[in-house]
């Protein structure tokens, strides 16, 4: 299993501002995944971040709103830009077993509230 550290663990932000969430993994992985969990809802994949290439975004998510960096094999950031109350969610970073996209392990998440 992988140990995933996310920060901040929670934040309260003002409308129109941006927040960058950091994700650190204790081993080198090719793919890192960013998920969103809206209040009372399931998890939705935002994007897949591969080191050395642009992130791949899922339908309904765009780079301008959720820019992602992946500077090395153990670290990634997700920025939530120009926030509105609808962005209030838990944002989770995850990695797959042995660098695959299977058996995902998750960080503890970032609880974001936008006022």
Partner 1 sequence: GEDVEQSLFLSVREGDSSVINCTYTDSSSTYLYWYKQEPGAGLQLLTYIFSNMDMKQDQRLTVLLNKKDKHLSLRIADTQTGDSAIYFCAESTGKLIFGQGTTLQVKP
| Positions in the binding site for partner 1 (CB under 8 A) | 1, 4, 6, 33, 41-45, 48, 58, 92, 94, 101-109, 111
If the CB atoms of residues 41 and 82 are measured against partner 1, the closer one turns out to be 41
What's the min distance (Å) between Cβ of 77 and partner 1?
Answer: 17
What's the min distance (Å) between Cβ of 82 and partner 1?
Answer: 26
If the CB atoms of residues 75 and 105 are measured against partner 1, the closer one turns out to be 105
Burial 58-84 (b: 16+ CB within 10 A, else e): eeebeeebbbbebeebbbbbbebbebe
What's the min distance (Å) between Cβ of 16 and partner 1?
Answer: 27
What's the min distance (Å) between Cβ of 8 and partner 1?
Answer: 14
If the CB atoms of residues 15 and 103 are measured against partner 1, the closer one turns out to be 103
């Amino acid at each position: 299993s992988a140990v995933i550290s996310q920060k901040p663990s929670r934040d309260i932000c003002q409308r129109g501002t941006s927040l960058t969430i950091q994700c650190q993994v204790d081993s080198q992985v090719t793919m890192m995944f960013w998920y969103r969990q809206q209040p009372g809802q399931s998890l939705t994949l935002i994007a897949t971040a591969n080191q050395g290439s642009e992130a791949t975004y899922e339908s309904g998510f765009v780079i301008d709103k959720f820019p992602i960096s992946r500077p090395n094999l153990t670290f990634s950031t997700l920025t939530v830009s120009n926030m509105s109350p609808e962005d209030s969610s838990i944002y989770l970073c995850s990695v797959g077993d042995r660098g695959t996209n299977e058996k995902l392990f998750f960080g503890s998440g970032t609880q974001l509230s936008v006022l």
